[in-house]
Structure 1
Amino acid sequence: MGGSIGFRSVPGSGSEFWFDLSLDNEVSETKAVAETPVAEQVAKNKSKQHLLIVEDNPANQIVAESILQRMGFTVTTVDNGLKAIQKLPSMAVDGIIMDCQMPVMDGFEATRMIRNAAVTGVDPQIPIIALTAYAMVGDRARCLDAGMNEYVSKPIRTNELKKALRQCGLEPDVDAFPS
């Protein structure tokens, strides 16, 4: 399949694990739409909420996009906090799924800027859910202290993500990933 897997461990501090996959980047949404009856497409699009995924890892982007789309959300993805800050004023989004550790601008700084109304045209109260590999003691508190509403650690557990989305007033499709 191609790819790599690795880890780094610091005694007394924790471990970090990662993987990279070589995946075909081509996805044909046209075929999926064409196979769906028009009435069903209209019903789905009418109720879809739009989420911005802020994640730098391409494999994690694909996983998050796939899960959230299956839950009935429309998604847009950017790969760092600065791009999120730049894109948000021109978008209508209902919530943000934010990684914490990214190049250029991390999720903590991007969240603080949104919460402090430093991003013109963006509701400072927009729901922000941390979706992060930070899973050590204190990481949840660090995310909440930065202004994120909810915290979900990677790897993604769909029931935890659904719960966090609901806590933020974002409603996933009840039929997706039944509990």
Structure 2
Amino acid sequence: MPQLKRLPVHPEQLVAVIESVNTPMVAAEGRPLEPTKAYILGVRNQDGTFSIYIYLHLQQSNQCLIYLHQPPAVTLENYQNTELEALQFVESMGFIVDNLNYAALSQEQRQDVLARLPVFTENLAAFTGAEGAGQQQPEDSQEQILELEPIEQAEERQEPSLSNFDAARLARLFSSF
């Protein structure tokens, strides 16, 4: 079976988008460890059934892995359980995910979400997403180095603002936890 390079559906078919808020190191399908983003996408098929795709964006190699739940089409009644299985799968790899509530978004908000998703892009090396859109990247960027100024005189140590009695009360309070 050929490896998919993009989600094989139209953006209009999306009903749910769940994305990882972190990029854990993942070694998927015999590949080396690399930072990865995960996306769970719920899709309404033309026959009224639903499909759940898991899209892993391997960020160093600019490759993707696309998983399709088996069976590939589920009824509305089984959709929630199928989505839960997908959530458990990506969370087991270390992803922390956020449901974007895609179905409740306005058309403009949906366009913003689609602009930053790599799932419909075949050439991931050219994909910049929303964070790179419209930004000019310097060719030889250097990190800004902050210089510390020496302190002329060390400040005198201040006494605690709590009395000994108040400090003891605070200690008893903390020890009760």
Question: So what's the TM-score if we normalise by structure 2?
Answer: 0.29
Question: So what's the TM-score if we normalise by structure 1?
Answer: 0.29
Structure with the higher fraction of residues in helix conformation: 1
Pick 1 or 2: higher relative contact order, CA cutoff 8 A, min separation 6: 2
The structure that has the greater radius of gyration is: 2
